[in-house]
Structure 1
Amino acid sequence: MDEVIKTFHIDWKLMIAQLINLAIVIFVLWKFAVKPLTKLMEKRSKDIEQSLKDAKKIEENLAKSEADKENQLKQARKEAQAIMEKANQQEERQSRQMIDETKTEVQTMIVTAKDQIAQEKQQMLKEAKADLGSLVIEATKKILEKTGAKEIDEKIVSDSLSHLSNKK
């Protein structure tokens, strides 16, 4: 073994110093490079996981918001439809009421007009009968004056009166 050590020029003191040197370099690298890098990578991994969770929550909230918006739109459409139907029904009711009122007014006007026409007709008939009676009497007087017969007088007067009575 001594020969191998001399052949390769191995110096134990130098070897131990290099091993200590290597241990110090590994310790320094571990302490100041590997450990912070590991912590940084873990932190980034956690941040990425948290970001993914947040993104998933945001997507869920967005989907929920979209569903809520659709429900609100449906509700608003239903309410608008109900308001329109109510307005149409009220308009139809008012229209029917106005038509009924107009029909009632027209019927009242017709009845009033018929009554007025009937009264005017009765008045005209009374006036016509009075005028006719006067004319008959006047005509009878003239005929009697010309004929002078008393029998004819009585007969004409009774015929005229019976004729007028029948027409009533």
Structure 2
Amino acid sequence: MIDLGALTLEWGSMLFQFIAFLILLVIVRKFAVGPVTKIMETRRQNIASEIEAAEKNRKESEGFIAEQRRLLDEARQETKAILERASKQAQDEEARIKHEALEAAARIKAEATAEIARETEKAKEELRKQMAGLSVMLASKIIEKELDEATQKETIDQFLKQVGDRL
């Protein structure tokens, strides 16, 4: 026993406590530290595998995104090509319709010109016939009347007045 004043130490009691401490340390190490270490290692492995899976998923997602972007670019190019073809077809159709309209207008104009020429000829022919008839009528009236100049002038004026009323 060691006496330190208010504190006394007993060797037997200290030795017993030291042995109890060592036994408790071995028991804690065997039954507590070992399983806790195993649990911690398992947890570390789970976390590592989850990190690997997350990295793999991220890479797959990046690949998928790149593929989607490529497909979107292809779709845009195809859409642009379709729009260009449609625009070209519309321009071609517009040119064709304009050409057909011009041809139809030219044909109608030619037909109208020909019709006008025919009607003009008919009118001239009718006028010639009327003039011939009027000339004959005038001549017969002049012959019926006396041949003095005043009477002849009056007869012609009356005839022209009658012809003017008919036209």
For Structure 1 versus Structure 2, the TM-score category normalised by the shorter chain is 0.5 to 0.7
* Deviation of the 1:120 alpha carbon: 0.3
Letter in 2 for 1:60: K
Cα distance in 1 for residues equivalent to 2:103 and 2:51: 77
Q: Which residue of 2 aligns with 1:104?
A: 103
Give the secondary structure class of the aligned counterpart of 1:41. helix
Q: Which residue of 2 aligns with 1:128?
A: 127
Cα distance in 1 for residues equivalent to 2:121 and 2:26: 138
Cα distance in 2 for residues equivalent to 1:136 and 1:124: 18
* Deviation of the 1:43 alpha carbon: 0.9
Q: Which residue of 2 aligns with 1:40?
A: 39
Q: Which runs of 5+ in 2 are unaligned?
A: 1-9, 148-167
Give runs of aligned pairs for residues 42-61 of structure 1, distance below 5 A.
42-61=41-60
Give the secondary structure class of the aligned counterpart of 2:38. helix
Cα distance in 1 for residues equivalent to 2:70 and 2:30: 58
Give the secondary structure class of the aligned counterpart of 2:73. helix
Cα distance in 2 for residues equivalent to 1:57 and 1:115: 86
Q: Which residue of 1 aligns with 2:64?
A: 65
Q: Which residue of 1 aligns with 2:80?
A: 81
Cα distance in 1 for residues equivalent to 2:11 and 2:75: 92
Cα distance in 2 for residues equivalent to 1:10 and 1:143: 185
Q: Identity across aligned pairs (percent)?
A: 27
Cα distance in 1 for residues equivalent to 2:103 and 2:90: 20
Normalising by structure 2, what TM-score?
A: 0.64
After superposition, the CA RMSD in angstroms is 3.1
Q: Deviations over 1:4-62 (max 9, x none)?
A: xxxxx999xx89xx49x84x545433331222122112112211211221221122122
Q: Which residue of 2 aligns with 1:30?
A: 29
Cα distance in 2 for residues equivalent to 1:107 and 1:57: 74
Cα distance in 1 for residues equivalent to 2:124 and 2:84: 59
Cα distance in 2 for residues equivalent to 1:142 and 1:37: 151
Cα distance in 1 for residues equivalent to 2:30 and 2:93: 91
The runs of at least 4 aligned residues of structure 1 exceeding 2 Å deviation read 24-31, 132-147
